Amino acid sequence: MHVAIDARRINTSTGRYIERLLHHLQELDAANDYTVLMPEEDLSYWQPSAKNFRVVNSDFEIYSLGEQSGFLRQLNKIDADLVHFPMPQQPVLYRGKHVTTFHDLTLLNTYNSDKNWLVYRVKQAVGRFAFRHSLSSSSHILTGTEFTKNALIDFAGTAASKITVTPYAAEAPISWSVSSSVPQPDLPFRRFILYVGQQPDYKNIRRLGEAHQKLLDTDPALGLVLAGRMNPAAQQNLDYFTERGYKNIHFTGYISDETLDEYYRHASAYVFPSLMEGFGLPGLEAMQRHLPVVSSNATCLPEVYGDAAEYFDPLDTDDMAAAIRRVIDDEERHVELTGLGLKRASQFSWRRMAEQTLAIYSEALAQN
């Protein structure tokens, strides 16, 4: 069997899934041959360690004419028995056998105000067509949660038997430490709640800021740290908070893993206010780092976090503030959630995800 894996997005927000899949497939499968398609700029980011894996340069942007023409020619030339597209963006004229991973339907159901409105709506229209085509043409579909599986069934009437849930996982980096010797971050406040990640509108950061300001009524020294690159979406949130005179909110901008470790180590809680997720990996990553999680009760998040999070209505900032307060002010609840989080995160496994995926490859190849 010759499998090609589209890794053009390996160094993006969804790239962790691709990288972990490749890592474990190399340990699990020495019998079949793999071609990994990757942009030139990422060739130093990941290199195979197994002899039956090879990397081929593929510099075709998603949602581009090059993807529909040049990438199509490349796939036809490779002539793999099976192609795995870890995202629904793929050449619509590709006729080879393939499986597709759908992480979520966020593109179709959200609008990010930092984007050009017309361009974004056109992208959504193209996305609806591309998603339906991928669901129809793929031999099998993979998702991270039952929530996303059901969303795909509702969206396109896809048969449930065609979709397999292969949950993702979280791993604390080797460098991470819970040692008290980890230095306190250089902040104007010592007690703070933490959010890590991108800040498009659906992440609901402005309501998190509003809830945090309400917490200042009883805890005026409490900080809110928003860790992540200062892209246009983050800058818009910073401007929004500044215009309203919000206090004790710190945007880190890009930081090293070592500095991020300091924030995880010293935060009072991780808060995940998102309105829509396909899995919610950041919360599991916080649990792995011994940090109690306060989470939105929207979409798939209760499915993933189970009883290991304190939940709130993401549209109700009073409810959000109250949930945060229950965790950071109640030491017993704080300790309980920390233990439940570690237990919950340990129930997910990247290796098991790769094992399930490999089984789907064999099943797809056996289909007429």
- Per-residue pLDDT of 319-329, as tens digits, reads 999 999 999 99
Give residues with Cβ within 8 angstroms of 329, minimum separation 6.
219
Q: In a 3-state reduction of DSSP, which class is residue 133?
A: helix
Indicate the burial class of 54 (C-beta count within 10 angstroms; 0-12, 13-18, 19 or more): exposed
* In the chain, % of residues over pLDDT 70: 97
Instruction: Find out whether 292 and 334 touch, Cβ atoms under 8 Å.
Output: yes
C-beta atoms surrounding 43 within 10 Å: 12
Instruction: Find out whether 270 and 345 touch, Cβ atoms under 8 Å.
Output: no
- Per-residue pLDDT of 79-90, as tens digits, reads 999 999 999 999
Instruction: Find out whether 348 and 169 touch, Cβ atoms under 8 Å.
Output: yes
The residue type at 257 = D
Place of tokens 């019998």: 31
DSSP 8-state code for residue 61: -
Cut 0.85: pTM above it: yes
- Per-residue pLDDT of 86-140, as tens digits, reads 999 999 999 999 999 999 998 888 877 777 778 878 878 888 988 999 999 999 9
Among 282, 72, 262, 239, smallest CA distance to 184 is for 262
Q: Please give the backbone phi and psi of residue 41, each rounded to the nearest 5 degrees, phi first.
A: -65, -15
Domains observed in the chain: 2-169+349-366 (3.40.50.2000), 192-345 (3.40.50.2000)
| Tokens coding 264 | 């995880």
- Confidence at residue 174, expressed as pLDDT on a 0 to 100 scale: 57
Query: From CA 299, how far away is CA 21, in angstroms rounded?
Result: 25
- Per-residue pLDDT of 20-70, as tens digits, reads 999 999 999 999 999 999 999 998 889 999 999 999 999 999 888 899 999
